[in-house]
Amino acid sequence: NLIAIYSALINSLPQEEGNIKKKGLKLTMGPLIKIPSKKEEILNKIALLESIDEEDFTDISIRLFGAPNKESLGECEKNLIEIDKKTLHQEKEDEIYSAEDAKIIFEKVFESYRLKNWKVKIKEEMVSDCVAGKNNRLFVREKAKFSKKRIESLTIHEIETHILTAENGKTQPYEIFNKGLANYLPIQEGLAMYNVEKQQGVPFRNNYRVMANVIAINKALTSSFVDLDFGIDGITSCHKMAFLIS
């Protein structure tokens, strides 16, 4: 049940936002689970869009999505250095599937789950190789190359976690479970990585793509564009690897 705890009662139902002290979910025989402010999250997203090309863009981005901490960064650098380079080269050689090939495979997965409302669309301009988007679309970057293992991983991550969660949310009595509660993204990404790890039997310390992203993000946040040049003195081999992978 969705519960609101008010600061005070007035003549009619106290709908004013300032009068709501706490919002939460009450599960049967369980404690009240506090719901962070969805409004605050949306306002931060709007502020981020409005700050494009402005000096405060990075600060707002960190406020919304966070930034790598020292402990996580150190662990990722350590694990990435220890990964067998032959593994990276082998996966590169195994990238024999084009975006069109991946599209056909993903469409068959949708068919197996009877998700007739979901479509796969190939896009020319994308940062990620594959991502679940709005309006029931799974986007694939036009020039991306995939190995069989990567396609299986993306199926678990994007379809069997993100998309199935969204579809389940659509059947719930409250629309918020479809759109997502405030700060739902870290939970969703954590679940997706956990599912990939368990279903593929690959421990997190071997997930070099995720660790490379952490290192690359930290380097981008703490360096100038000039410093991000691979030829600059002082950049470590670990950082070079992170940027090349991510």
pLDDT band at 111 (very low <50, low <70, confident <90, very high): very high
Quick one: average pLDDT of 89-96?
75
Quick one: average pLDDT of 189-202?
90
pLDDT (0 to 100) of residue 158:
96
pLDDT (0 to 100) of residue 232:
42
Q: Which residue has the higher pLDDT, 86 or 61?
A: 61
- Cβ(229)–Cβ(220) below 8 Å: no
28-32, 56-60, 173-177: which range is least confident on average?
Answer: 28-32
27-31, 37-41, 115-119, 180-184: which range is least confident on average?
Answer: 27-31
- Read off the pLDDT of residues 230-243 as tens digits, 9 standing for 90 and up: 544 444 555 555 55
Q: Which residue has the higher pLDDT, 138 or 134?
A: 138
- Cβ(171)–Cβ(192) below 8 Å: no
Strand ranges in 93-166 using DSSP code E only, listed in sequence order: 119-123, 130-132, 137-141
- Cβ(21)–Cβ(9) below 8 Å: no
Query: What CA–CA distance (Å, rounded) separates 97 from 150?
Result: 10
Residue labelled with tokens 């421990």: 203
Residue type, 236: T
| C-alpha dist (Å) from residue 42 to 36, 46, 51, 110, 165 | 12, 6, 14, 30, 20
pTM recorded for the entire structure: 0.74
